[in-house]
Structure 1
Amino acid sequence: MEERLQKILSEWGVASRRQAEKMILEGRVHLNGQVVRLGQKANPECDEIEVDGVPLKPAYRPQSVYLLLHKPKGVVSTCSDPWKRSTVLDLLPASLRKGQGLHPIGRLDAESTGALLLTNDGGLTFGLTHPRHGIPKTYQVWVQGYPPESVLEAWRKGVILSGKKTLPAQVRALAKYPGSQTLLEVILKEGRNRQIRRVAEQLGYPVVNLHRTAIGPILLEPPEEPMLKPGTYRPLKDFELRFLQTQLNLTSVNVPADIEEHTL
């Protein structure tokens, strides 16, 4: 069956769909000896597809991988970095970094920490990053100062960022600390660029530290289990994959590779 090449590349773990589109625009993808144009379709069972001169063959398709990573501070949520900063892929063993097509789903900025999903399932990545799928993400946010209830209510209702109002959010104060800091729990169903930091700054209570604790029911510290330590990862559990499948209305989530948890 013919499908768009960017979808084929993402589903085969070559790159995320966005990265695949960029590769096509850069002329790195060939179909039957010709440079591919964006939107072009192919059938991988009978067409010859090459990426950077390497043929894409059914036998080369890697087994699907689904990981939860605890991203530490100072690491960027990309596959490579022009400024040579450490990336989330640098935290993985070579067996997962090379030839697997692993990439992060969404991002945490370099100074933020916490839960980040990695996969080579392009269909899952596309679904989770599409605006129509609002999977809640939970954050612990330390802000400077003691925001009153009126400020928290304004945050809950939505704040104008770059001319567009943010979606309603769940925001509650968890604790107040000496030195004029407050710990908040913030639950969002959208992920605009540096959204929490920008909203907090606009409301007058800038972020001191930001940590994502959960993506839906996928927790860094599940009940009665030790917390996943910074810089380590684990494979997603069956119920977590089923949740993603249900939320995105996917007909199936590919069978994951058998990968052991990596902890310190």
Structure 2
Amino acid sequence: MPERIQKILARWGIASRRKAEQMIIAGRVRCNGQIVTLGDQATPGQDQLAVDGQLLQAQNRPEDLYILLNKPRGVMSTCHDPHQRRTVLGCLPSRWQRGYGLHPVGRLDADSTGAILLTNDGVLTLALTHPRYHLPKTYKVWVAGHPKQAALRVWRQGVELDGVQTRRAVVRVLRSTPEQTLLEVILREGRNRQIRRIAAQLGYPVVSLHRSAIGRLGLKSSPDSPSLALGEYRQIAKPEIEQIFQLSTLLGKLNLPQAVSENSVCGSRMIS
């Protein structure tokens, strides 16, 4: 039965539907040798689809990949940038940059550094970005000045942004210098530049922002191992990912399928 091509690409884990539409607009997708346009349909098993010249066939479906990157400053949390700026995908070896459908799960703004997970596993992407799953994310944040306890209490209890109260947060003072303070901030939601906006609203603008962990997934593979340096990455085995995020239990709690349906892969969202 014919389906819209972006739905097929999403179901394969090649990209979210939004990203698949962008790939189609960019002319990267062909059906039976012809460049497709938005709205075109194909019949899986009958029509030949190709992305970046690579045919989508059961026998050559990309393996599930999970890569943790310590994103450097100035790198965009996207797969492709219209202004030719460096992206998180561009931080990886060339063999992974095309044909695997890797995409970031969530985002960090360009000025921030730290942990970002890239995968082509649509089920994991859906689960970790689901609005009912408040995945904790840990940040180390240098702010200007020395926040007063009253300001920290306000931050912990929630601050109004765009007319909506933020969720409660964990905010701890780690250390300070004569001019700055290092905070540990743990969020369970992700609004656009949330930490930067709250800090500025409270009168202590962010000097630098670094994400150290996504849930229990940190930049160290073990307590005794060195942390990934900026720009470094490590590939994570599927069993480790499933254990870290308790994926089977999570899918059950969210009442989500074990396999990706045509509407399942969520788009990425800015979370700092």
TM-score clears 0.5 = yes
Moved more, 138-147 or 51-60: 51-60
Relative contact order (alpha carbons < 8 A, sep ≥ 6): 1 or 2 greater?
2
1:122 aligns with 122
Cα displacement (A) at 1:153: 1.0
Pair 1:204 & 2:207 matched: no
Q: Give the partner amino acid of 2:242.
A: L
Q: 1:57 to 1:232 in 2, by over 3 A?
A: same
Cα displacement (A) at 1:213: 0.4
Distance 1:10 1:87 in 2: 21
Which digits, 9 at most, give the CA deviation of each residue in 1:75-99, with x for residues without a partner? 1111111222111111111111121
Mapping of 1:84-99 within 5 angstroms? 84-99=84-99
3-state SS of 1:135 partner: coil
Q: Give the partner amino acid of 1:82.
A: P
1:259 aligns with none
Q: Give the partner amino acid of 2:210.
A: H
Q: 1:37 to 1:52 in 2, by over 3 A?
A: farther
Distance 1:243 1:195 in 2: 25
2:14 aligns with 14
1:183 aligns with 182
3-state SS of 1:192 partner: coil
Mapping of 1:129-168 within 5 angstroms? 129-168=129-168
Q: 1:121 to 1:170 in 2, by over 3 A?
A: same
Structure 1 contact 220–227 (Cα < 8 Å) conserved: yes
Distance 1:170 1:209 in 2: 18
Q: Give the partner amino acid of 1:70.
A: N
User: What is the TM-score when the length of structure 2 is the normalising length?
Assistant: 0.80
Distance 1:171 1:10 in 2: 37
Distance 2:149 2:121 in 1: 42
Distance 1:24 1:97 in 2: 17
Cα displacement (A) at 1:18: 2.7
Q: 1:203 to 1:121 in 2, by over 3 A?
A: same
Pair 1:225 & 2:228 matched: no
Q: 1:213 to 1:248 in 2, by over 3 A?
A: farther
Cα displacement (A) at 1:177: 1.1
Q: Give the partner amino acid of 2:75.
A: V
Q: 1:186 to 1:137 in 2, by over 3 A?
A: same
Q: 1:239 to 1:27 in 2, by over 3 A?
A: closer
Q: What is the root-mean-square deviation in Å for CA atoms of aligned residues?
A: 2.9
2:241 aligns with 240
Distance 1:157 1:146 in 2: 19
Report % sequence identity.
55
1:261 aligns with none
Q: 1:67 to 1:86 in 2, by over 3 A?
A: same
Moved more, 134-143 or 6-15: 6-15
User: What is the TM-score when the length of structure 1 is the normalising length?
Assistant: 0.82
Q: 1:54 to 1:227 in 2, by over 3 A?
A: closer
Q: 1:31 to 1:121 in 2, by over 3 A?
A: same
3-state SS of 1:139 partner: strand
Which digits, 9 at most, give the CA deviation of each residue in 1:216-253, with x for residues without a partner? 11011231111111111112243333333133446658
Distance 1:101 1:201 in 2: 37
Mapping of 1:66-81 within 5 angstroms? 66-81=66-81
1:104 aligns with 104
Distance 2:142 2:155 in 1: 15
Cα displacement (A) at 1:8: 3.4
Q: 1:11 to 1:233 in 2, by over 3 A?
A: farther
Distance 2:66 2:78 in 1: 16
**Alignment gaps of 5+ in structure 1:** 255-264
3-state SS of 1:75 partner: coil
Aligned length: 251
